[in-house]
């Protein structure tokens, strides 16, 4: 049966129908369909510690690679000759780094591949390490494995003047067993020494590490290489040369074992007082006064071959054989500054002393051996030595 809607209600029904249809449309248009599909995997992202093409890379800082959304399959860094640089991979293979220092002014090539759920990513990159404007090589004394005397300082000598001497000191590590307090002192603008307040104890082991490679020592001067040595202190040998008795007495570990007559420097060329460190030795050598600023032709000049020469100073003082002054030894001073002894005594001294042993000269009319002679370190008072001179004007 048909239902007749009264005319007065027909407009209301039409409006209601229109509203309902609009509401249905809005509901349908604002609904976002929900997918059950997972998001697409992201490809591995490779990050480098240095950008491609970088110039002036620090050669001692490890070059590293990290990966997100995957793991490193391969990573290789090669030098210009194609040699692979040593490296280390993390256990989870998400990071990689070089394990050796790089060369100066060298271009390195990196190839990395990483894989993950999102696929494989590959990258190739190059960088060039810094090129110093100048280099300096450190040289160490004593030599590695040496057994030296109780007066031997650590010596680090560079082949260029060092602009930032304080920085150079920071890069030198001295390790002693047993532990001993010590300090640095520059004897020139190229050479720094380190010694304790008192003489070393026999049996002490000293290790020196000079880590200057890749480090700026001032004004663009970089270390050419690192160096290290380990040496040991032997018996305590101290020779006392006394001008009052004109003798040299040699004590080993506190006990006098040998005494010999000597002749010191004459009045015009007196032997300086002070503590000397024994240096190198020569079985036979030519002594030439001109090498110490005294012309051979002068009244105090000489050019003489001597035997069994043991150096006490870099200013030219030795204990050596002097058969020409046998009658003066023990009585008069006739030398140019050296300690003249007989051939037999010179040979004994040569054979029974070592670098780093000490000779204490006293009661002469001379002054005192310079603390920066190179073998006169112990003539610098400890307070002065400990205060240091890295920032002061050294020669």
Strand 318-321 to 182-186 pairing: unpaired
Q: Residue 376's CB: how many other CB atoms inside 10 A?
A: 22
Beta bridge partners of 118: none
Catalytic, out of 338, 358, 361, 372: 338
* Digit-coded pLDDT (tens) for 119-163: 999 999 999 999 999 999 999 999 999 999 999 999 999 999 999
Rounded Cα gap, residues 277 and 283, in angstroms: 18
Query: Is 320 part of the annotated catalytic residue set?
Result: yes
Residue 250: pLDDT band with limits 50, 70, 90:
very high
Query: Is 338 part of the annotated catalytic residue set?
Result: yes
Residues 133/104, Cβ–Cβ less than 8 Å? no
- H or E stretch at 139: strand 138-141
Rounded Cα gap, residues 318 and 278, in angstroms: 9
Rounded Cα gap, residues 8 and 14, in angstroms: 11
Global pTM value: 0.85
Structure tokens at 56: 């002036």
Rounded Cα gap, residues 380 and 184, in angstroms: 12
Catalytic, out of 264, 320, 357, 364: 320
Structure tokens at 49: 């510690």
pLDDT the model gives residue 394: 65
Query: Which of 119, 62, 61, 124 has the alpha carbon at shortest distance from 95?
Result: 62
Rounded Cα gap, residues 86 and 102, in angstroms: 10
Rounded Cα gap, residues 276 and 273, in angstroms: 9
* Digit-coded pLDDT (tens) for 323-368: 999 999 999 999 999 999 999 999 999 999 999 999 999 999 999 9
List of domains in the chain: 45-129 (2.60.40.3780), 134-234 (2.60.40.3710), 237-379 (2.40.440.10)
Beta strands across the sheet bearing 147-148: 147-148, 227-233, 205-210, 172-177
Rounded Cα gap, residues 16 and 12, in angstroms: 6
């Amino acid at each position: 049966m048909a239902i007749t809607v009264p005319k007065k209600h027909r407009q209301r029904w039409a409006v209601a129908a229109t509203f309902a249809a609009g509401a249905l449309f809005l509901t349908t248009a604002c609904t976002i369909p929900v997918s059950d599909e997972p998001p697409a995997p992201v490809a591995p992202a490779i990050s480098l510690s240095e950008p491609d093409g970088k110039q002036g890379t620090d050669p001692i800082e490890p070059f590293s690679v990290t990966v997100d959304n995957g793991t490193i399959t391969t990573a290789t860094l090669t030098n210009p000759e194609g040699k692979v640089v040593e490296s280390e991979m993390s256990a989870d293979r998400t990071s990689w780094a070089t394990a050796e220092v790089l060369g100066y002014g060298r271009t390195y090539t990196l190839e990395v591949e990483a894989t993950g759920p999102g696929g494989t990513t590959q990258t190739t990159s190059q960088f060039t390490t810094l090129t110093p404007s100048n280099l300096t090589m450190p040289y160490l004394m004593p030599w590695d494995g040496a057994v030296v005397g109780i007066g031997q300082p650590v010596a680090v000598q560079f082949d260029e003047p060092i602009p930032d001497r304080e920085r150079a000191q920071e890069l030198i590590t001295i390790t002693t067993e047993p532990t001993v307090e010590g300090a640095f002192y520059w004897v020139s603008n190229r050479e720094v020494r380190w010694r304790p307040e008192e003489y070393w104890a026999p049996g002490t082991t000293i290790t020196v590490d000079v880590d200057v490679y890749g480090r700026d020592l001032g004004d663009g001067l970089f270390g050419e290489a690192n160096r290290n040595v380990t040496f040991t202190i032997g018996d305590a040998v101290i020779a006392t040369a006394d001008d009052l008795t004109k003798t040299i007495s040699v004590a080993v570990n506190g006990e006098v074992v040998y005494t010999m007559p000597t002749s010191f420097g004459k009045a015009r060329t007196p032997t300086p007082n002070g503590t000397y460190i024994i240096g190198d030795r020569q079985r036979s050598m030519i002594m030439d006064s001109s090498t110490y600023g005294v012309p051979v032709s002068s009244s105090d000049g000489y050019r003489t071959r001597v035997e069994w020469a043991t150096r006490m100073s870099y200013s030219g003082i030795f204990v050596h054989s002097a058969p020409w002054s046998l009658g003066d030894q023990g009585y008069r001073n006739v030398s140019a500054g050296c300690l003249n002894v007989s051939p037999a005594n010179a040979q004994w001294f040569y054979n029974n002393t070592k670098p780093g042993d000490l000779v204490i000269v006293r009661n002469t009319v001379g002054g005192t051996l310079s603390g920066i002679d190179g073998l006169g370190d112990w003539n610098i008072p400890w307070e002065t030595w400990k205060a240091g001179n890295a920032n002061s004007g050294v020669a």
